[in-house]
Amino acid sequence: MPIYEYHCNKCDKDFEELVLGSNPVVTCPECKSQDVAKKMSTCAFKAGANFVGTGKKASAGCGSCSSTNCSTCGG
């Protein structure tokens, strides 16, 4: 399901929103304003020894890491 990043022009908050449909009305969860802008976002995923989309190589510890969260080991 498409989750997009937005920036509220009224209260300056950044947030994510699950968007269904081609012409959704997105409202800021903080101030309830509809004056929001979709941000350009990126994604990355690990493929072998590299993180595709970031240009970074995975650390050597990632091969033996049993964690499901890379922020745990810094990989």
What is the phi/psi pair of residue 4, to 5°? -115, 155
Task: Tell whether the model's pLDDT for residue 31 goes beyond 70.
Answer: yes
- In the chain, the number of structural domains is 1
Q: What's the domain range around 24?
A: 1-68
Q: Which residue type does 66 have?
A: S
Any domain includes 60: yes
Any domain includes 40: yes
Any domain includes 2: yes
Any domain includes 53: yes
| CB count in 10 Å sphere of residue 50 | 14
| pLDDT bucket at 63, cuts 50 / 70 / 90 | low
Any domain includes 22: yes
- 56, 66, 48, 16 alpha-carbon torsion, rounded to 10°: -60
Any domain includes 74: no
Any domain includes 73: no
Global confidence as pTM: 0.54
> Strands 3-8 and 36-38: what pairing?
antiparallel
